Structure 1
Amino acid sequence: MSFDFPPRLRALQAQLHRVRAEHTALCATLPWSTEPLPGWTAQEGRYSSRRDVPPSPGYTEEQQVQRARLERRLQRLAGVVMTDAFWQSVEQEKIVVARMALKRAHEQVSG
């Protein structure tokens, strides 16, 4: 099933993908805790998916600002995409399929 998404909606969804990727990349570089906390050692004989965990220095002020900025952008973009007037033109029973198609629309253009 294909949908004729307006260019603006496609652009917003592409921007949402980029911001989400930027957020994911940033989070991968951050310490495991936002606040400074001690680490711990995995205990022998106990089931745990965790290994030894080093102490966390916590986030720097710059890291906190970057993460908050990206999260605000993600929320704003998701809201704009989800409330776009286009969705009023889609039959109710096709909304979920259409939203999933929009999430993958960039794949059709680039690859």
Structure 2
Amino acid sequence: MTDENSFPDDLLQLQERLHRAHAEHRAYLAGLPWSVEPMKGWVRGERFSHRGDVPDSPGWSEEQRDTVDRMWAKIRELSIAVVDHPYWASVPRESVVSARMQLKKQARPAPANEMAEAA
């Protein structure tokens, strides 16, 4: 098992940036229409819907599509940087998965409400 303090600072920073990029992407998607393409909605009973009635979706604008594409590109770039970091060559092969999970936990940013309480 990897020692908690053994991750290089640059790897911890990359992983934290990756966590933040995922969080920003999820938050952005939550504010977009439910369908990428314009689509007619439906009322409960016409189709199965755990949300009840579903309104028409105007679809995403070109700007929204471009923003999502840029966000995904950033997530891919950060993911590759984390996975290809030279540190992983020093970790025994049988320990890489557990070390990767530890890095994810250790580098996870504090939720906004916890950061506000600490200030």
Secondary structure of the corresponding residue to residue 49 of structure 1: coil
State the match for 1:98 in structure 2: 99
Alignment pair present for 1:72 and 2:90: no
Contiguous gaps of at least 5 residues in structure 1: none
Compute the TM-score of the two structures, normalised by the length of structure 1: 0.88
Query: Is 16-25 or 48-57 further displaced after alignment?
Result: 48-57
Residues in 2 aligned to 1:48 and 1:33: alpha-carbon distance in whole angstroms:
15
Q: What is the aligned residue count?
A: 110
Task: Give identity over the alignment, percent.
Answer: 44
State the match for 2:62 in structure 1: 61
The runs of at least 4 aligned residues of structure 1 exceeding 6 Å deviation read 108-111
User: In the alignment, residue 24 of structure 2 is paired with which amino acid?
Assistant: E
Would the aligned equivalents of 2:33 and 2:58 in 1 still touch at CA under 8 Å?
yes
Compute the TM-score of the two structures, normalised by the length of structure 2: 0.82
State the match for 1:18 in structure 2: 20
Q: Superposition RMSD on alpha carbons, in Å?
A: 2.3
- Structure with the bigger RCO (C-alpha within 8 Å, sep 6+) is 2
User: In the alignment, residue 60 of structure 1 is paired with which amino acid?
Assistant: S
State the match for 2:40 in structure 1: 38
